[in-house]
């Protein structure tokens, strides 16, 4: 049990006072996005994903019809949902905040429960002020090729996409939700009005010649109470109340300039980080790039219920891998993954471990006629690095000890793995931007050495999407190719999302201000 101290997020707004159980694997799908219902323009839910915690900001309206923002820290549960307390706040009027905590009062409102649906949408359930409701939301998209958000533990100083929650640390209690797509930045600014009550303001900025972004600020006069929304949540057009600009000195620091209600101010801002330095943070990039030229992640990890079906051209038909869930093998905590042939007969079981940097294979079992025929234990575990740099090469040596069916023998392994590039790839499951690896495996068993040369493509949404293996033999080289047919990862079907295209800017901005 990992114990959290009374941790302060975004200005004394969110606390944990109880333990949060550590996850078996890193979260498989990054949920960072602005989520909305097209039929209910005028409110939206912004989500930022770090570690196994979602920072959730709902821009909506209170029972009095006035603007209201509420935030939550929702932690991942064993069933894949994210649950946390949601609060609203009062604070110093925005123009009086000056290097001191901005919020002055915390109001407990209830609980939120978020989960990803099989069609890639977000179920946003909540109990607020003793009112329980559920809304199904989708990602706001306003360019043809929206960025892909993944995880990284590295510095984001070199990032060129600024999607995140930004704040001024010395003025905790207010912040800016930024959604950056192409040459557009959409912001939702949560702060306080002249009466000290919650105020949110939105804006759509375009990239300028000097690399900064600028646009108008809009603020609804009133709207439909959160529990009564069943159509547009406010009236349009939303009044223009000022203008703003954003400039960034690097991927982690920037400046927010604004004029609103006749008040002009400038704030130095940074990304809000609410997890430890060794835990994953969000990084977003246009398809095909993380930091320029590199995806920030190459796989989604392993999550209970995941499956992948791959078709090979060697006559063996379809092969399906299913993640069963956590278990143990010889006293070690592992994730169990089983393999089935086209007739749904189990052929293998793998005992895996996943951390932020590596996928480890502890042991494998081969099945015949429904029973274990051979067991191989790897020492040290076979490993595959999850986020090597492009052009990085590493070598891994290990031994496999096999027993079963009256046999007992060892195999020496040497793997040389290089991340060569990032490529767009089309497979039956969808279109993906993938990390391309060259993987050469040399094995020696009973004094006989064999070489396998592999090309491997892995996508952050789903893992391996294509493989090509070449095995030299006295009769010539045998080549086996595989392509991903279908998959489900953390409840999401990538064939539905891999080809997802953009919507107009108007639809995206309608999430909050409906223009």
Q: Which of 314-318, 368-372, 417-421, 507-511 has the lowest mean pLDDT?
A: 507-511
Place of tokens 């001191």: 100
* CA pair distance 59, 42, nearest whole angstrom: 9
Q: What is the pLDDT, as a whole number, of residue 77?
A: 92
**Region 263-273 average pLDDT:** 98
Cα(179)–Cα(511) distance, integer angstroms: 12
> Which range scores top for mean pLDDT: 44-58, 333-347, 389-403?
44-58
Per-residue pLDDT, averaged over 20-37, amounts to: 70
**CATH number 2.40.360 is the correct assignment for the domain at 307-491:** yes
3-state secondary structure of 226: helix
408 forms bridges with which residues in the sheet? 403
Q: For residue 497, what is the enclosing H or E element?
A: helix 494-497
Per mean pLDDT, which range of 32-41, 46-55, 228-237, 478-487 is the poorest?
478-487
Pairing verdict, β 164-167 and 175-181: antiparallel
The confidence score (pLDDT) of residue 322 equals 93
Question: What pLDDT is attached to residue 317?
Answer: 75
Cα 349 versus chain centre, distance = 28
- Residues of the chain with pLDDT > 90: what percent? 63
Q: What is the CA radius of gyration of the chain?
A: 25
Flag whether pLDDT at 504 surpasses 50.
no
Residue 292 has pLDDT above 70, yes or no: no
State how far the alpha carbon of 118 is from the alpha carbons of 36, 78, 166, 495, in Å. 17, 17, 31, 11
Region 134-145 average pLDDT: 91
Q: Which carries the bigger pLDDT value, residue 385 or residue 504? A: 385
- State whether residue 119 is helix, strand or coil: coil
508: pLDDT strictly greater than 60 = no
Report the mean per-residue pLDDT for the chain: 86
Check residue 330 and give its pLDDT. 94
Q: Which two tokens stand for residue 465?
A: 């999407």
Report pLDDT for 498. 39
How many Cβ atoms sit within 10 Å of the Cβ of residue 239? 12
431: confidence class by pLDDT, cuts 50, 70, 90? confident
Cα 325 to Cα 329: distance, rounded to the nearest angstrom: 13
Band (pLDDT 50/70/90 cuts) for residue 209 is confident
Separation of alpha carbons 359 and 266, rounded Å: 45
For 297-315, how does the pLDDT look when each residue is reduced to its tens digit (9 = 90+)? 788 888 888 889 998 875 5
Residue 29: band (very low, low, confident or very high) from pLDDT cuts 50, 70, 90: confident
Mean pLDDT of 1-15: 32
- CA gap 291, 508 in Å, rounded: 25
When pLDDT is averaged across residues 476-505 and rounded to a whole number, the result is: 65
What is the structure's pLDDT at 314?
53
The β-bridge partners of 149 are 284
CA angle 454, 456, 462 (to 5 degrees): 150
Residue 154, pLDDT score: 86
Rounded mean pLDDT, 67-93: 96
What does the alpha-carbon distance between residue 213 and residue 255 come to, in Å, rounded to a whole number? Answer: 11
* Per-residue pLDDT reduced to its tens digit, 141-192: 988 788 889 888 888 988 889 999 999 999 999 999 999 998 999 999 999 9
Q: Give the pLDDT band of residue 356 (cuts 50, 70, 90).
A: confident
Where along the chain do its domains lie? 33-288, 307-491
């Amino acid at each position: 049990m990992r114990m959290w101290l009374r941790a302060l997020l975004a200005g004394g707004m969110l606390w944990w006072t109880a333990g949060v159980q550590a996850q078996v694997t890193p979260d498989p799908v990054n949920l960072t996005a602005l989520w909305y219902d097209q039929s209910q323009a005028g409110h939206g839910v912004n989500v930022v994903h770090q570690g196994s915690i979602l920072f959730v900001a709902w821009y909506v309206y209170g029972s009095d019809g006035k603007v209201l923002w509420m935030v939550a820290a929702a932690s991942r549960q064993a069933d894949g949902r994210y649950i946390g307390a949601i609060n609203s706040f009062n604070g110093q009027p925005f123009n009086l905040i000056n290097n001191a905590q901005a919020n002055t009062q915390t109001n407990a409102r209830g609980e939120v429960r978020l989960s990803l649906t099989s069609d890639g949408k977000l179920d946003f359930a909540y109990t607020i002020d003793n009112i329980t409701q559920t809304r199904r939301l989708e990602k706001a998209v306003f360019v043809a090729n929206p960025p892909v958000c993944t995880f990284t533990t590295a510095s984001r100083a070199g990032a060129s996409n600024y999607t995140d929650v930004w704040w001024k640390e010395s003025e905790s209690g207010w912040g800016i939700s930024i959604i950056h797509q192409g040459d557009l930045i959409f912001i939702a600014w949560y702060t306080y009005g002249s009466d000290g009550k919650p105020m949110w303001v939105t804006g759509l900025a375009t990239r300028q010649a000097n690399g900064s972004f600028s646009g108008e600020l809009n603020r609804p006069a009133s709207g439909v109470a959160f529990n009564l929304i069943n159509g547009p949540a406010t009236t349009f057009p939303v009044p223009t109340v000022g203008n703003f600009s954003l400039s960034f000195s690097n991927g982690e620091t920037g400046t927010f300039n604004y004029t609103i209600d006749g008040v002009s101010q400038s704030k130095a801002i940074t990304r809000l980080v609410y997890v430890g330095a060794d835990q994953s943070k969000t990084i977003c990039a246009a398809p095909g790039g993380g930091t320029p030229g590199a995806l920030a992640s190459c796989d989604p990890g392993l999550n209970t219920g995941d499956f992948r079906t791959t078709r090979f051209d060697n006559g063996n038909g379809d092969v399906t891998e299913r993640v069963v869930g956590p278990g143990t093998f010889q006293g070690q905590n592992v994730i169990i993954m089983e393999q089935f042939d086209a007739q749904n007969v189990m052929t293998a079981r793998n005992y895996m471990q996943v951390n932020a940097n590596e996928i480890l294979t502890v042991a494998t079992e081969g099945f015949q006629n429904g029973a274990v025929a051979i067991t191989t234990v790897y020492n040290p575990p076979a490993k595959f690095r999850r986020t090597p740099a492009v052009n990085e090469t590493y070598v891994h040596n290990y031994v496999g000890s096999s027993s079963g069916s009256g046999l007992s023998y060892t195999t020496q392994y040497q793997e040389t793995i290089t991340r060569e590039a990032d490529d767009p790839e089309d497979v039956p499951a969808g279109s993906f931007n993938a990390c391309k690896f060259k993987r050469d495996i040399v094995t020696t068993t009973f004094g006989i050495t064999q070489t396998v040369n592999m090309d491997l493509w892995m996508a952050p949404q789903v893992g391996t999407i294509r493989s090509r293996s070449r095995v030299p033999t006295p009769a010539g080289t045998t080549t086996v190719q595989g392509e991903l047919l279908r998959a489900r990862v953390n409840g999401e079907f990538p064939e539905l999302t891999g080809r997802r295209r953009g919507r107009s800017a108007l639809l995206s901005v309608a999430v909050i201000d409906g223009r």
